Amino acid sequence: MSVQSQAKRLTTRDIRAKKRSGENLAMLTAYDYVTAALLDQAGIDILLVGDSLGNVVLGHETTLPVTLDDMIRHAAAVQRGTNHALVVCDLPFGTATDPDTALRNAVTLLQQTGVQAVKIEGGAAAAPTVSRLVGQGIAVMAHIGLTPQSVHQLGGYYRHGKQEKEARELIASAKALQAAGAFAIVLEFLVPELAAEITQLLDIPTIGIGSGADCAGQVLVINDLIGLSVTPPPGFAKPKADVAAIVRAAATAYIAEVKTPKDPSLGQ
């Protein structure tokens, strides 16, 4: 029997159990087979096939141009590279506009990729959609705070929950999404004190990104973690490597080697 067939893939029950036991959850994005396999071998808990691929892979300024077909192609590759991590895939912009549309697109995504869960951006207004999907057996991760699919409506990228009214709304949204059946919730770029409060109020795990250290888990874009980018990472990301420098150095050495004139006296 192969090692892959013996491995146990984490489930949503395992993820919730980790919060109850006090074990912090580690989540990273992945967009391709090789990266997913390496992160899986490292023991990552959750891999997110994020629509951030629009920014870091496809070169778009926002996530809005990413299509369902894009997500399916990349999610299927990530799924093929894993046998331990729970794999979650974003439903991209325009594919979860109402419960029935979201259900139809989520079914297509799961059937064509084999991933275990989908992620939906939005606050309390997204709760009926989460409930509809969960009612049909689909695991859903929620996402509040800075929601990149709503960047134009929000008016840019900024920290959320600074004002009391907004903070109360975010707490209400988190509770509504938990009640709708979400198994976890991403808190993006929230005031850390608010993220900590929401984490304490919920039974399901919170996964923070730029929201302080007191969430039940953390997520980063893999390119920000390993320094594989042509632009600076966000301020809350602390790269553990400089892969971009390694790639440039290797390419520079290769180019120099290829372009160096050969010494005819050395023969072929």
Residue spans per domain, the chain: 3-241
Is a pLDDT exceeding 70 seen at residue 118?
A: yes
Compute the distance between CA of residue 159 and CA of residue 166 in angstroms, rounded to an integer. Answer: 11
Q: Which of 32-36, 112-116, 228-232 has the lowest mean pLDDT?
A: 228-232
Binding site for Mg(2+), residues?
A: 51, 90, 121
Residue 61 is a catalytic residue? no
CATH topology of domain 3-241: TIM Barrel (3.20.20)
Compute the distance between CA of residue 234 and CA of residue 232 in angstroms, rounded to an integer. Answer: 7
What is the end-to-end Cα distance of the chain in Å, rounded? 48
Tokens representing 139?
A: 């695991």
User: In this structure, what are the phi and psi dihedrals at residue 145, rounded to the nearest 5 degrees?
Assistant: 95, -125
Is a pLDDT exceeding 80 seen at residue 157?
A: yes
Q: Which of 1-10, 93-102, 150-159, 178-187 has the lowest mean pLDDT?
A: 1-10
pLDDT at 267: 61
- What is the arithmetic mean of pLDDT over 156-160? 87
Binding site for 3-methyl-2-oxobutanoate, residues?
A: 51-52, 90, 119
Whole-prediction pTM value?
0.93
- What is the arithmetic mean of pLDDT over 150-159? 87
Which amino acid makes up residue 186?
V
Report the mean per-residue pLDDT for the chain.
95
Catalytic residue among 23, 61, 188, 257: 188
pLDDT at 140: 98
Is a pLDDT exceeding 60 seen at residue 15?
A: yes
- What is the arithmetic mean of pLDDT over 162-166? 96
What are the percentages of helix, strand and coil residues in the chain, rounded to 5? Answer: 45, 15, 35
